[in-house]
Structure 1
Amino acid sequence: MSTIIYPSPIFGPIHSRRLGISLGINLLPADGKVCSFDCIYCECGFNEDHRPKQTMPTRHDVAEKLQLTLQRMKSEGQLPDVLTFAGNGEPTCHPHFPEIIDDTIRLRNAYCPDAKVCVLSNSTQIHRQSVHDALMKVDDNILKLDTVDSAYIHRVDRPAGNYDVNQIIERMKAFNGHVIIQTMFMRGDCNGESVDNTAEEYVVPWLEAVKTIAPQQVMVYTIDRETPAHGLLKATHEQLDAIRDRVVAVGIPCSASY
């Protein structure tokens, strides 16, 4: 099984299916994962297989490496479309995440003012006021909501600690529309249990939750790389298109990535 462990604190640029030319900002250690989820489909593998020995990069290190990279990209005439907080786990777990967001916006404004600042998050830290306030400052606040079914979440996303999807939805509403919902749809099974969330029993309540959150956009996607768990299958183009069209029909922009 192959997995991807990203360099830290800066990686890329890479071409993202959903975001364009993306310069990655990884606030987690360069030798392993730190995440409040342990998703069975994570391209970085299972948490227990990639326990880091290194520490998280410091705020100073992130800003210094980002500035050097942006200076080089500008001199080469290749500016990013987006600065994306992603990498080896959950970026909002970093203790200085809010301050790093401020540094990143400052550097973006100085070197590539047309680029967006984007955060890919699993939503587990949005109850913290400092994280909420920081996410309100970024251009694309992309938060995960794979389903509203608690049993499915614990089977597939496998959150650490107490995770209440209804509380997550309420916290998403608190962004007052400044949020993009990202949902992984897939088929197949894992350890003899179905992981298919494309059926009506999952899509209908998920869509109702999306309507109450009233996000600026929804992104639906499916597996793109090898997964640590066996038996997982991509959702079909037809399934993703049908879900996308239902979101659009209720007046919310939605994209599908295959």
Structure 2
Amino acid sequence: MMSILFESLVFGPISSRRLGKSLGINLMPEIGKICSFDCIYCECGWNPEKKNVSRLPKKEVFEKVLEEKLKELAGTENEPDSITFSGNGEPTLHPDFAEIIDITIRLRDLYAPEAKISVLTNGTMLHKKEIFDAISKIENNIIKIDGGTYDTIKSINKPNVDFDLERYVERLQDFKGELVIQTCFLRGEHNGLKIDNTTQEEIALWTEHIKKIKPRKTMIYAIERETPEKNLEKISLDELEQIAEPLRQLGFTVECYGK
């Protein structure tokens, strides 16, 4: 299968349907993915059998590369709207993640004060105080919850760490609403198992999670790029809007991204 791996520590800016002009940050190796999930829809492909943690970029190198890039972009039409941590896996797995966030805030304030800092995370490291505190410092802490039930989340995200859905929702409540939830809705099949997080039961339970977490924004979206599991269906924008409507009627902000 074809997968998208980011070969640079800092890349872009690229046009993001959710974040505008996005300067990407990849804290994972350029040669492979490191993630605590192995999502069936991940554009970076499946997790490799062996993790190459020795290839993680050092914080000193990150600081130098980011500063050079922000200096280059400052005052130009390509000055970023967002400095976005995503890349080849889960950014919070980097051992210096908290310090890297502090470095990013300082450099952003110097060279791109209008840019927001965004982290796309699966939330599996939020039990660590230093990670929770670092994520709490930024403007866009965008955290994944891809279903209403544990079984569906397990089937879609395939966590390779301990994952307790009830504890996870409780942890997200600790942000006191200062977070963004992202959910990918899909239907399909994986390893002979039917997967569907758009059923009435799934959406009802997912909605209850959102009501408990009370995020300032929820982003729901359909698959956009090639996926490692081929037997997946892209959900239409109309269906996403139908999923969003009950939450909107309760006063929640829900953005839909699809076609």
Q: TM-score range by the shorter chain?
A: over 0.9
CA contact (8 A) 1:73 1:79 kept: yes
Matched position secondary structure for 1:27: coil
CA contact (8 A) 2:29 2:52 kept: yes
CA shift at 1:49, angstroms? 6.6
Residue in 2 that maps onto 1:17? 17
Matched position secondary structure for 1:218: strand
Residue in 1 that maps onto 2:166? 166
- 1:176-215 maps to which residues of 2 (within 5 A)? 176-215=176-215
CA contact (8 A) 2:148 2:197 kept: no
Structure 2 residue 32 is the aligned partner of structure 1 residue 38: no
State the superposition RMSD in angstroms: 1.4
Q: Distance in 1 between matches of 2:24 and 2:123?
A: 19
CA shift at 1:80, angstroms? 0.3
Paired amino acid for 1:110: L
Residue in 2 that maps onto 1:56? 56
CA contact (8 A) 1:31 1:53 kept: no
Matched position secondary structure for 1:195: strand
CA contact (8 A) 1:25 1:86 kept: yes
Structure 2 residue runs of 5 or longer lacking an equivalent are none
- 1:1-258 maps to which residues of 2 (within 5 A)? 1-48=1-48, 51-52=51-52, 55-74=55-74, 76-258=76-258
Q: Distance in 1 between matches of 2:3 and 2:39?
A: 13
Paired amino acid for 1:147: G
Paired amino acid for 1:102: D
Q: Distance in 2 between matches of 1:251 and 1:152?
A: 27
Matched position secondary structure for 1:100: helix
Paired amino acid for 1:45: G
Matched position secondary structure for 2:78: coil
CA shift at 1:83, angstroms? 0.2
Deviations 1:81-127 (A, max 9, x none): 00000000000001111110000010110011011000000010011
TM-score (norm 2): 0.96
Q: Distance in 2 between matches of 1:209 and 1:110?
A: 38
CA shift at 1:35, angstroms? 0.3
CA shift at 1:239, angstroms? 1.2
Structure 1 residue runs of 5 or longer lacking an equivalent are none
CA contact (8 A) 1:32 1:50 kept: no
Q: Distance in 1 between matches of 2:193 and 2:238?
A: 23
Matched position secondary structure for 1:48: coil
CA shift at 1:152, angstroms? 1.2
TM-score (norm 1): 0.96
244-253 or 90-99, larger mean C-alpha shift: 244-253
Matched position secondary structure for 2:177: coil
CA shift at 1:50, angstroms? 8.1
Instruction: Report sequence identity in percent.
Output: 43
Matched position secondary structure for 1:95: coil
